[in-house]
Chains A and B, each alone.
Chain A
């Protein structure tokens, strides 16, 4: 059992992290409102309110300590809304937020010891319950009239390649393309990554390892075969769906992430590989959240073995050093 001092340190880290994560979500929310109008703002606010409400009610029912000041409920609400299409019916994200908090976060130990990323679990729940609504993205700039747009993840899922003469790459980078309302703006996410690197030097290792694994997989096994397939595949894989969003907000969660830098790199790389494998073979067009959940479930067992191996190595080194000392004394 961790000591009280350690618990206090972890609690503080979790609270500060979620506050910073909320700050990183703010520009994404602004971009979502810019592209999709007031509806996006209403959904974000409704989800944040639902998060706080679910935390208050769930904590009261389960008699667990309630700490809204750690911002995790607000973060879960805002992140869930930003991962979804801008015109999704309100009940879908509200159910997802309630699931993430009342079924995953509170019963499994709270912000600082939950073994899965609650937001990813909530998104997985929504994906399984409403797959046709969760991946039904509206085209941008169509006003009140709904026109379905083809997202990059959907195109990859069907093996369709983008063509450089028809699609402006800059539009993809600034999020002017159908997709999740807060997760498609790659430049803003990159800015968030820089903020993360400044605030949490170790956490950025997870993100970079995750993106490295995804990039290697995209280059090695491209899903598109038109033109310069590997570069197009790299661009499409990285910019599509929730990949970068997960790299910034999910893989760096302090409750799950290992502490040592080497372990962080391995964890990030492992998560990236699992996510990409699921993207290739899954039934859904974007299965990053399932990949994160699987990695979270498997990683503790991997980490235990890594720690054991390290201990053995240390012992062997000590024994060698002692043997050398003995030989020199003799």
Chain B
């Protein structure tokens, strides 16, 4: 059997940021531009470029400079970095593309306070090396950008009848999609599609890549009857054997230890025979899991994937050397 090729850290980070933990569709972060502003392809492209650039700048700065700074100051620094980038972009657009600046409206300056940037910086950048932070920023920016671009394309096409400057429909078929409620609808459909794509199309690859094993359903609880049903008699051979070795069970207790309190006598328990409730339920669940290929993956696929990916990522990064402790120590010293 051919040995599986190990998947590189870069691939894992990109798989995680673009698909499995897509910041907009799965983590549901940074919805404001995706819902309200991404109703046109040009605006979506602008916001995509901005969010990716902002993530890269912020995460790189956080990884290089902010590890030894306490959290309450770090978060303010992210917003200042965002403000610098967004202000520069806004001035540049006002000079060169005022129409696009006008279309982006209030959502362009609002990107300065993007929750996505603050979250990724706090979760990854201040704990990892520059390379990992850069890759994480790129992957998450790409994931958010893909969503924004697809949403902008479809909403522009169906809601306004245009793709960029090109007029495709004079009477747009679904005018409501250009409104914010259309943005929510579009994101809902895209999230459902992504979930289906991961769970069905990528099932084998994801399982191989992230070592997700088949998760069996919990077997049905053992049915125990508390009534005084006589216990079944053991076979004759076993009864004889028990009678022959009584001393082995009556070993004297050590002198130091107190004698255990006598257990209150419980009514005799009777487990139903195997061919009744329990075995039938187990067989039913087993058969159901075998019949339905979709049941091979756990119900909460995203949670399982997240756990698996995060665990593996942590293990790899621990091997590479985790500066988390040093950063925390530095932060504590700074606080003191």
**Interface residues, chain A, CB within 8 Å of chain B?**
63, 95, 103, 125, 128-131
* Contact of A129 with B185 in the complex, beta carbons under 8 Å: no
Q: Please list 15 pairs of residues, one from A and one from B, whose beta carbons are closer than 8 Å in the complex, sorted by A's number.
A: A63-B294, A95-B174, A103-B185, A103-B188, A125-B176, A128-B175, A128-B176, A128-B179, A128-B181, A128-B182, A129-B174, A129-B175, A129-B176, A129-B177, A131-B175
B181 proximity list for chain A (CB < 8 A): 128
Interface mask (B111-133 → A, CB under 8 Å = 1, otherwise 0): 00000000000000000000000
Tell me if A's interface is mostly helix, strand, loop or mixed. helix
Give the complex CA separation of A55 and B315 in angstroms: 46
Give the complex CA separation of A125 and B181 in angstroms: 9
A129 proximity list for chain B (CB < 8 A): 174-177
Interface mask (B287-322 → A, CB under 8 Å = 1, otherwise 0): 000000010000000000000000000000000000
Give the complex CA separation of A131 and B174 in angstroms: 11
Interface mask (B166-192 → A, CB under 8 Å = 1, otherwise 0): 000000001111010110010010000
* Interchain CB contact (< 8 A) of A130 among B175, B185, B294: B175
A125 to chain B, nearest CB (A): 6
A125 proximity list for chain B (CB < 8 A): 176
**Interface residues, chain B, CB within 8 Å of chain A?**
174-177, 179, 181-182, 185, 188, 294
Give the complex CA separation of A103 and B174 in angstroms: 15
Tell me if B's interface is mostly helix, strand, loop or mixed. helix
B177 proximity list for chain A (CB < 8 A): 129
B203 to chain A, nearest CB (A): 15
B167 to chain A, nearest CB (A): 19
B296 to chain A, nearest CB (A): 15
B175 proximity list for chain A (CB < 8 A): 128-131
Nearest-neighbor residue (CB-CB) of B177 within chain A: A129
B185 proximity list for chain A (CB < 8 A): 103
Give the complex CA separation of A279 and B49 in angstroms: 42
Nearest 3 A-B pairs (CB), nearest first? Answer: A128-B176, A129-B176, A129-B174
Give the complex CA separation of A103 and B188 in angstroms: 9
B294 proximity list for chain A (CB < 8 A): 63
Give the complex CA separation of A103 and B179 in angstroms: 17
Give the complex CA separation of A63 and B200 in angstroms: 13
A182 to chain B, nearest CB (A): 23
B188 proximity list for chain A (CB < 8 A): 103
Beyond the given A95-B174, A128-B182, please list 13 additional residue pairs across the A-B interface where CB-CB is below 8 A. Answer: A63-B294, A103-B185, A103-B188, A125-B176, A128-B175, A128-B176, A128-B179, A129-B174, A129-B175, A129-B176, A129-B177, A130-B175, A131-B175
A63 proximity list for chain B (CB < 8 A): 294
Give the complex CA separation of A72 and B181 in angstroms: 25
Give the complex CA separation of A110 and B188 in angstroms: 18
A128 proximity list for chain B (CB < 8 A): 175-176, 179, 181-182
B267 to chain A, nearest CB (A): 29
Give the complex CA separation of A103 and B176 in angstroms: 15
Give the complex CA separation of A16 and B241 in angstroms: 67
Nearest-neighbor residue (CB-CB) of A99 within chain B: B185
Give the complex CA separation of A63 and B196 in angstroms: 12
Give the complex CA separation of A63 and B179 in angstroms: 30
A321 to chain B, nearest CB (A): 39
Nearest-neighbor residue (CB-CB) of A128 within chain B: B176
A130 proximity list for chain B (CB < 8 A): 175
Give the complex CA separation of A14 and B133 in angstroms: 54
Nearest-neighbor residue (CB-CB) of A127 within chain B: B176
B174 proximity list for chain A (CB < 8 A): 95, 129
A176 to chain B, nearest CB (A): 32
A131 proximity list for chain B (CB < 8 A): 175
Give the complex CA separation of A183 and B174 in angstroms: 25
Give the complex CA separation of A129 and B173 in angstroms: 8
Nearest-neighbor residue (CB-CB) of A103 within chain B: B185
A115 to chain B, nearest CB (A): 15
Give the complex CA separation of A128 and B181 in angstroms: 9
B152 to chain A, nearest CB (A): 18
Give the complex CA separation of A63 and B174 in angstroms: 27
Give the complex CA separation of A63 and B175 in angstroms: 30
B182 proximity list for chain A (CB < 8 A): 128
Nearest-neighbor residue (CB-CB) of A62 within chain B: B192
Nearest-neighbor residue (CB-CB) of A131 within chain B: B175
B175 to chain A, nearest CB (A): 5
Nearest-neighbor residue (CB-CB) of B294 within chain A: A63
Nearest-neighbor residue (CB-CB) of A130 within chain B: B175
Give the complex CA separation of A125 and B174 in angstroms: 9
Give the complex CA separation of A282 and B201 in angstroms: 45
A317 to chain B, nearest CB (A): 40
B297 to chain A, nearest CB (A): 13
Give the complex CA separation of A253 and B185 in angstroms: 24
